[in-house]
Amino acid sequence: MRALCWEGAETLAVRQVPDPELRNAQDMIVRVRRSVTCGADLPLLAGRVPHLAAGDVLGHEFLGEVVEVGPEVRRHRVADRVVVCSGIACGACWFCRQGLFACCDNGTTGAAGAEPEWGQPTAGCYGRPALLGGFAGSHAEFVRVPYADVGAFTVPEGVSDDRAVFASDAAPTGWMGAELGEVAPGDVVAVWGAGAVGQLTAAAARLRGADRVIVVDDHDERLRMVERHVGAEPLNYRYLDVPAELRERSGGRGADVCVEAVGPAAGSPGLFAGRPGRRADGPLALREAVHSCRKGGTVVLLGTGTGFVDTFPLGAVLDKGLTVRGGRQHGQRWIPMLLERMARDELRTEHLATHRLPLERGADGYALFRDRADGCVRAVFTP
Ligand SMILES: [Zn+2]
Ligand SMILES: [Zn+2]
């Protein structure tokens, strides 16, 4: 089959690779119809993540058609149209039974890679290096789906591929942001980042009844999308002082829930840049979220980072009595509900698929996505 392979820093190429095969009784094989770029891929693409090898297939958010099922697969048949959770979890271990699918004990085969970093292994993920299981990615014609009954979900008729594919990762990640923030009616919620995850966090906060949802970014085009498609308020940090603006929009108290959806090394440079004694290369958006959050509020981290950050404002967290939470999404818990909301037209995601390309143009798609060129929010590949 053809697949989009990582070949070294900033280099991708479509190669002929062996077709995936069933390895376990609970596996199935899916023919990919849609596979999406994700911000979490960019450090991999840049070659900043260890344990990635030349020839590895990228991609972890996808939708397709079942072409082969293992003998123990009960919920799926050949020809079913399914969306697959980007995280790989067994559904049976202690963590999965608590609904903490992203913490699954059995999702990764290469636990030795994760333990020195995090103390414990976590769930696997498609298109990731050995650290997250070494599973082949979805930018390919076919994908092997382990624990198929746990991680794959039949897409309701009437929900388009371009909408449903976001139920794989971006929509459950956004839902997780609102869930960890315990967003409730009356809340003022601020979200840093107007990419797909930030927009879908804002959408989730609105669905949960938040009073005001404000999205912080510096891309006017993305912020217009936030207004038009999500019904949230834009806040461009290039023109406005974010903490002051959020205080103003929350009756002076600060946002109740602040969600970081840009990644720990990114964010608006305004708050601490250039001040004597302050380093500007730390987790800027996270620091601004801590600064802007009301006393006793919750800060949620969704942006991807596997390492360490410097200049984390621990004192502000303590003195303001903040709750800080974060995680990768437990999509297996929420994907059926999200698909139902998509079917009822409550959750619309297809506007995020700004660029549709054949797999052959994968390298171009990633370049557009990485550089946010031509208004690219997400590039969607069709093999
Ligand atoms: Zn993703
Ligand atoms: Zn498990």
What pLDDT was estimated at residue 223?
Answer: 97
Residue 85 near residue 335 (C-beta atoms within 8 A): yes
CA of 206 to the centre of ligand 2 (A): 31
Residue 29 CA, ligand 2 centroid: distance in Å: 20
pLDDT at 120: 80
Q: In this predicted structure, what is the pLDDT of residue 274?
A: 44
Q: Structure tokens of 174?
A: 């956004």
Ligand showing the shortest atom-to-Cα distance for residue 173: 1
Nearest ligand to the CA of 174 is: 1
Tell me the two tokens of residue 306: 């596997």
- Ligand nearest the Cα atom of residue 166: 1
Span from the CA of 100 to the centroid of ligand 2 (angstroms):
8
Cα of 83 from ligand 1 centre, angstroms: 13
pLDDT in tens, the chain (383 residues): 999 999 999 999 999 999 999 999 999 999 999 999 998 888 889 887 777 889 999 999 999 999 999 999 999 999 999 999 999 999 999 999 999 999 999 988 765 556 666 778 889 999 987 767 889 999 999 999 999 999 999 999 999 999 999 999 999 999 999 999 999 999 999 999 999 999 999 999 999 999 999 999 999 999 999 999 999 999 999 999 999 999 999 999 999 999 999 864 543 344 444 444 444 445 788 889 999 999 999 999 998 555 667 778 999 999 999 999 999 999 999 999 999 999 999 999 999 999 999 999 999 999 999 999 999 999 999 99
Q: In whole angstroms, what is the distance from residue 219 CA to residue 164 CA?
A: 25
CA of 329 to the centre of ligand 1 (A): 10
* Matching residue, tokens 């979200």: 191
Beta-strand relationship, 124-125 and 87-88: antiparallel
Task: Give CA torsion, residues 31, 33, 38, 44, to 10 deg.
Answer: 40
| CA of residue 249 to ligand 2 center, whole Å | 42
Å from CA of 176 to ligand 2 middle:
18
Output the pLDDT for position 278.
43
Q: How far is the CA of 150 from the centre of ligand 2 (A)?
A: 10
**Ligand minimally distant from the alpha carbon of residue 147:** 2
Is 0.85 surpassed by the pTM of this model? yes
Return the HEC string of the chain: CEEEEEEECCEEEEEECCCCCCCCCCCEEEEEEEEECCHHHHHHHCCCCCCCCCCCECCCEEEEEEEEECCCCCCCCCCCEEEECCEECCCCCHHHHCCCHHHCCCCCCCHHHHHHHHCCCCCEEECCCHHHCCECCCCECEEEECCHHHHEEECCCCCCHHHHHHHHCHHHHHHHHHHHCCCCCCCEEEEECCCHHHHHHHHHHHHCCCCEEEEEECCHHHHHHHHHHHCCEEEECCCCCHHHHHHHHCCCCCEEEEEECCCCCCCCCCCCCCCCCCCCCCCHHHHHHHHHEEEEEEEEECCCCCCCCCCCCHHHHHHCCCEEEECCCCHHHHHHHHHHHHHCCCCCCHHHEEEEEEHHHHHHHHHHHHHCHHHCCEEEEEC
How far apart are the CA of 121 and the centre of ligand 2, in A? Answer: 11
